[in-house]
Amino acid sequence: MSTHNFAARPVGDGPEPDSSPNPFRKDFPVLERTVHGKPLVYLDNAATTQKPREVIEAVERYYASNCANVHRGLHLLSAEATVAFEGARERIRQFINAPSISEIVFTSGTSAAINLVAYSFGRRFVREGDDVVITEMEHHSNIVPWQLLCERSGANLRVVPINDDGEMELDRYEQLLGPRTRIVAVTHTSNALGTRNPLSRIIESAHSVGASVLVDAAQAMAHEIVDVSKLGCDFLAFSGHKMLGPTGVGVLYGRYDLLEAMPPFLGGGEMIERVSFEGTTFKAPPSRFEAGTPDIAGVIGLGAAVDYLTRAGLDRIAGHDTELLAYATARLSEVPGLRMVGTAKDKSSILSFNLAQVHSHDVGQWLDGDGVAVRAGHHCAQPVMDRFGVSSTVRASLACYNTREDVDALVRALLKTIEVMS
């Protein structure tokens, strides 16, 4: 599929801007608003993306027209809600190319999905003396659940270091693997650095020693095609709100034979076959892992987000992201005293940086005054901050609706911040 360049107007010297209009901006109502009297420039997409109108309307339509619980109702509203809910499961299955809808488990987000695997897979497969392998670049959500598992089980947590560019040290990773490695948990794309990991090699190496692999794909789903059948991963976790969908909903893909062998994570309605005081039997996946009333509206909204991304074309979005990242990297290199944190050769559209002599929180507040929304802090990745000798960074993260003009506004605001703070 062909890619398109997207709109911007030049500000000072720098790479040649593009005069083509961005075809997505009109679909996102929030981008029409102002902040502190300035047009909103939203560059906090790694934290959460904005929502297209059709996602908002899908959620509203459920609440306005067929709000009912799913699966067990005999009335029409429940039947309609169930069709919409399970229809979203099928579209998500297609979106990631999973073999079966029974491998698509709805959760409250990436964190819940990882915790589910750490608890249930860990309870079934991880024993004292086994190894769990993660990397130094992981989000806290892909660190803490494994620490808790190791504390419970007596397993060892092995951490793969990263180099000065923010890339995994692959030779060291392969040295850490062995016959006691039970699971490797690795991010697809670092939320703090933008690094995209070489998953094919990582997964192949893990499988060669009999280990399973969980991929945290939270930062990837809105930017490129993620095909679980092609990757060959055993688990994949992602969140709706980072891929144009609602908050409070996410997905765990799990290989069916593993899910079938895993005990429940939460107990309650929907996940049982038969309950008595003498004992309980449980349904097959995915129901086994979906106790209680799910976020029905969120799942329906996530289905609408998948429809939007599918229609937009992830190849097209990936082309846009690559071009805009290159433009942004070049423009930020013009800012005096700016240090980029995360310079991997293979990067997604995340730019973390600091300004000399200005705390990242001060930078974030000054940028907000100019209508530019970024994230400032440790990004739930304190080990990454420790690795680079900083307490925090400013993070500008891009999405399909961002433009070169947005980048130019960021650079203008940074230069203004330096002038004011110096």
Catalytic residues: 380
Cα–Cα–Cα angle for 208, 209, 210, rounded to 5 degrees? 95
Q: Which amino acid is at 48?
A: T
Q: What are the beta bridge partners of residue 375?
A: 395
Please, what is the Cα angle at 88 between 84 and 94, to 5 degrees? 145
Cβ density class 55-93: b for 16+ within 10 Å, e for less: bbebbebbeeebeebbbeeeeeebebbbebbbebbebbb
Distance CA 275, CA 25 (A): 51
Report how far residue 249's alpha carbon sits from residue 295's, in angstroms, rounded to the nearest whole number: 7
d(CA 19, CA 324): 13
**Amino acid of residue 342:** G
Q: Could you tell me if residue 129 is left (phi over 0), alpha (psi between -120 and 50 degrees) or otherwise beta?
A: left
Angstrom distance (rounded) from CA 187 to CA 217 = 6
